Amino acid sequence: MNLDPRQLVGYYNRLAPRERVLVGVATLATLVISLYTFIWDPLQSNQALLARRIATKEKDLAAIERLRETYLDLERYLEANQAATSLQNPNFNLFASVQKTVSEAVSRENITSMNPSTKPIGTDFQEEQVEIKLQKVSLPQLVDFLYRVEKGAQPLRFSRLQIKKRPNPDIYNFDVTATISLLKTIDKGAEKPGEKPAEKPPGRTLGS
């Protein structure tokens, strides 16, 4: 059934003025509801969804950037350790070296404790550490100590460094807690402590 627009116009013209107003209001309300339902509301929903997706992608991007920085830091750390390992002296003693450096840059009297330790890293490396605590260290002494450790003949690094200003009236001196580390390759040919060397099979005597 085809709807003739002229019939609608004729029907509208036969309505009373009050009925025409009601029909106009109803038509306008229907139009507004249709616009809101089929255009405005979906558009707002899509914008809200798009905003949430953008926020999620921004968080993902920030997380990727943090992972990238962490990866680059680890890569630089590994390269530095590999370089230090290639330059290291197999007879180098970390504890004695740190003790000598402190004596030259500060003084043994400033040492409150020195604790060596070793921990394996994988199967090919081990990390030697010396935790040292200093007290009443002046700023020039501290700078000299840091320089000697990081720029010495044997490359070393600080895996931990805490500098604390002393209270009044000794505010121009510092208390220092530092862990100095050295990455070394494990000599797999060396005997482990408590391990007996492998016994050689008995040799044959002539004529046996």
Q: What tens digit of pLDDT does each residue of 50-79 get?
A: 888 888 888 888 888 888 887 777 666 666
Most confident option among 21-25, 37-41, 47-51, 99-103: 99-103
pLDDT band of residue 144 (cuts 50, 70, 90) is: very high
CA 172, 177, 183, 189 dihedral sign is positive
Most confident option among 38-42, 102-106, 120-124, 201-205: 102-106
pLDDT band of residue 2 (cuts 50, 70, 90) is: low
What DSSP character marks residue 36? I
Question: Residue 83: inside a domain, yes or no?
Answer: yes
* Angstrom distance (rounded) from CA 158 to CA 90: 20
Question: Residue 196: inside a domain, yes or no?
Answer: no
Span 35-51, mean pLDDT?
79
Query: Would the pTM of this model clear 0.85, i.e. be above it?
Result: no
What is each CA distance from 203 to 93, 161, 196, 207, in whole angstroms?
40, 58, 20, 12
Number of domains in the chain: 2
* Last residue within a domain, chosen from 49, 71, 87: 87
Give the amino acid at 203. Answer: G
Same domain, 71 and 113: no
Question: Residue 153: inside a domain, yes or no?
Answer: yes
Question: Residue 199: inside a domain, yes or no?
Answer: no
Which domain does 104 fall in, by range?
Answer: 94-185
> Is the pLDDT reported for residue 200 higher than 50?
no
Same domain, 40 and 74: yes
Strand order of the sheet with strand 111-121?
111-121, 125-138, 173-185, 157-165
Helices 94-105 and 139-150: crossing angle in degrees, nearest 10, is 150
